[in-house]
């Protein structure tokens, strides 16, 4: 087994087939197939079931994904560390983030990192649930992850650095029918038109609690992509309950923003894999350790 074979295997998994993987790797498809056949012979298992011109992962192939990613990740860490030792203060932070932490504190952390290490690039993948973030880190797809949960997180197998607790706020267009007061009582949402995220999110849970308390409100849009919520608000579609990470953007867009009462919070943390990190990831982690919630005010 060699690194090239594992890279080819993961490319097939990530691109959904031999043909697309060969194009992404810039190799001939027969060469790719031969490399995988050699890997299967060496391991003594079939990694893919060939069905016509397609291929489907076998159970053995599914089990290989995690270890293969860890091997590739560890080799990248070793190479990056040696580059850093030689004085090449460059690299790439590979992290995954949920939507609201992807607004803040990601924006501030990236700005601070760029100030201290201008040669380092941040690559941010997307995830919508805490479990997705944890799994991507455990499987070696990313080194770091920004996560938002209803309460403090405990995740065996990864290191957790708590960063801040963001209050949830009510956001509406400047000319919207907006409840009075700051904070706004949840009971005052009776009669409101709301834009929500799908069931299972903390944002949706708050709205569901208001409904359970007997408030007569209308859900006018259910949006999986959080980045669509603020534009819908500004178009006058309805109000939205969002973490305070969105408040600065909302205010700059001219939206009205108010706290809600009883309050609710989104607990934001930075997760990292327990194995050695690349120098670029360690630099990002060092910035995160010195982060204070008020830092975003300087952005």
- The model's pLDDT over 30-44, given as tens digits with 9 standing for 90+, comes to 888 898 998 988 888
Domain count, the chain: 3
On whether both 186 and 249 belong to a single domain, the answer is yes
On whether both 172 and 243 belong to a single domain, the answer is yes
On whether both 106 and 156 belong to a single domain, the answer is yes
The values of phi and psi at residue 196, to 5°, are: -130, 165
Q: What is the mean pLDDT of residues 10-34?
A: 88
On whether both 127 and 174 belong to a single domain, the answer is no
DSSP state of 234: H
pLDDT tens-digit map of 146-182 = 999 988 888 888 999 999 999 999 999 999 889 988 8
pLDDT at residue 297 greater than cutoff 60: no
Q: What is the mean pLDDT of residues 180-200?
A: 89
Rounded distance between C-alpha atoms, residue 157 and residue 3, angstroms: 25
Residues 6+ apart with CB under 8 A from 299: 107, 108, 111, 248
Q: In the structure, what pLDDT confidence band is assigned to residue 299 with cuts at 50, 70 and 90?
A: very low
The values of phi and psi at residue 256, to 5°, are: -90, 140
On whether both 53 and 95 belong to a single domain, the answer is no
Q: Classify residue 229: in a domain, yes or no.
A: yes
Show the domain range for 219: 166-264
Q: Classify residue 119: in a domain, yes or no.
A: yes
pLDDT tens-digit map of 227-246 = 899 999 999 999 999 999 89
* Residue 3, helix vs strand vs coil: helix
Q: Classify residue 16: in a domain, yes or no.
A: yes
On whether both 28 and 58 belong to a single domain, the answer is yes
Q: Classify residue 299: in a domain, yes or no.
A: no
What pLDDT is stored for residue 88 in this prediction?
A: 60
On whether both 136 and 198 belong to a single domain, the answer is no
What pLDDT is stored for residue 87 in this prediction?
A: 65
Choose among 212, 170, 214: nearest CA to 193. Answer: 170
Q: In the structure, what pLDDT confidence band is assigned to residue 276 with cuts at 50, 70 and 90?
A: confident
Choose among 118, 296, 257, 108: nearest CA to 178. Answer: 257
Contact 268, 147 (CB under 8 A): yes
What pLDDT is stored for residue 181 in this prediction?
A: 87
Q: Kindly state the helix (H) or strand (E) to which residue 153 belongs, with its residue range.
A: none
Q: Classify residue 248: in a domain, yes or no.
A: yes
On whether both 219 and 246 belong to a single domain, the answer is yes
Average pLDDT, the chain: 87
On whether both 154 and 171 belong to a single domain, the answer is no
Mean pLDDT lowest among 50-64, 117-131, 145-159? 50-64
What pLDDT is stored for residue 296 in this prediction?
A: 66
DSSP secondary structure of 67-130: HHHHHHHHHHHHHHHHHHHTT---EEEEEEE-TTTTTTTHHHHHHHHHHH-TTEEEEEEE-SSH
Rounded distance between C-alpha atoms, residue 203 and residue 201, angstroms: 5
DSSP state of 191: T
On whether both 191 and 141 belong to a single domain, the answer is no
**Terminal Cα distance for the chain, rounded:** 48
Q: Classify residue 129: in a domain, yes or no.
A: yes
- 23: its two tokens: 């194009």
Q: Classify residue 18: in a domain, yes or no.
A: yes
CATH number of the domain at 40, please: 1.10.10.10
Rounded distance between C-alpha atoms, residue 92 and residue 119, angstroms: 9
Contact 179, 215 (CB under 8 A): no
CATH number of the domain at 238, please: 3.40.190.10
What pLDDT is stored for residue 89 in this prediction?
A: 66
On whether both 258 and 198 belong to a single domain, the answer is yes
Q: Classify residue 63: in a domain, yes or no.
A: yes
What pLDDT is stored for residue 15 in this prediction?
A: 87
On whether both 157 and 284 belong to a single domain, the answer is yes
In the chain, what percentage of residues exceed pLDDT 90?
36
């Amino acid at each position: 087994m060699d690194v090239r074979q594992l890279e080819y295997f993961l490319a097939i998994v990530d691109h959904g087939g031999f043909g697309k993987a060969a194009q992404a790797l810039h190799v001939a498809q027969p060469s790719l197939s031969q490399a995988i056949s050699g890997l299967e012979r060496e391991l003594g298992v079939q990694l893919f079931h060939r069905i016509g011109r397609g291929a489907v992962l076998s159970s053995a192939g599914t089990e290989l994904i995690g270890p293969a990613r860890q091997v590739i990740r560890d080799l990248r860490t070793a190479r990056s560390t040696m580059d850093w030792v030689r004085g090449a203060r460059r690299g790439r932070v590979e992290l995954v983030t949920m939507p609201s932490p992807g607004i803040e504190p990601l924006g501030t952390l990236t700005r601070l990192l760029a100030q201290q290490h201008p040669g380092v690039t941040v690559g941010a993948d997307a995830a919508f649930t805490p479990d997705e973030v944890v799994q991507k880190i455990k499987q070696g797809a990313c080194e770091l992850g920004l996560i938002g949960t209803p309460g403090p997180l405990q995740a065996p197998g990864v290191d957790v650095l708590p960063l801040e607790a963001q209050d949830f706020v009510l956001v509406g267009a400047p000319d919207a029918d907006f409840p009075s007061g700051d904070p706004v009582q949840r009971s005052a949402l009776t009669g409101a038109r709301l834009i929500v995220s799908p069931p299972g999110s903390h944002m949706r849970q708050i709205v569901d609690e208001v409904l359970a308390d007997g408030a007569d409100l209308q859900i006018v849009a259910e949006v999986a992509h959080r980045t669509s919520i603020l534009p819908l608000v500004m178009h006058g579609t309805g109000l939205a309950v969002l973490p305070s990470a969105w408040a600065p953007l909302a205010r700059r867009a001219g939206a009205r923003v108010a706290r809600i009462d009883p309050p609710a919070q989104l607990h934001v943390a930075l997760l990292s894999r327990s194995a050695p990190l690349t120098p670029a990831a360690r630099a990002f982690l060092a910035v995160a350790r010195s982060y204070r919630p008020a830092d975003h005010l300087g952005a």
